[in-house]
Structure 1
């Protein structure tokens, strides 16, 4: 997930799009399908490992680059949306 947040979902996100679906579509066009599925697995693992502290674990790992709240999501709803977009 570090590639996604480090390259696409950072302060320069508008290079890739104005919405999360637009940005993820750009990521998907740049990366092979296998990478999309690996990312879904990473998200599921992260969510499973941090059932009781998802918000703080996400903030610790990615909070310097990205905040789901600024996009109208909770941490859980954002990760669920990422999975949905990556699987489509």
Structure 2
């Protein structure tokens, strides 16, 4: 019985890395503040490899939390402003 209780208590405590990445990647309301590389690729309709190249070339700024790499929404917005042509259709 004691062993079972210890397992339940252990499940209640989530790993700190998960908590940090979860809190850092989501605002309380609305849009996420940090985007994963997959989310950036999806939003820009490009491959993950292209996202990696943009990060490597400094076109997008990244934030590392543990082993994960995120792109801030503001960095993505600035990238889009820099690469948007002045044409209106």
Provide TM-score, normalisation by structure 2.
0.31
The answer to which structure, 1 or 2, has the higher relative contact order (CA under 8 A, 6+ apart) is 1
Please identify which structure carries the higher strand content. Answer: 2
Please identify which structure carries the higher helix content. Answer: 1
Q: Which has the larger radius of gyration?
A: 2
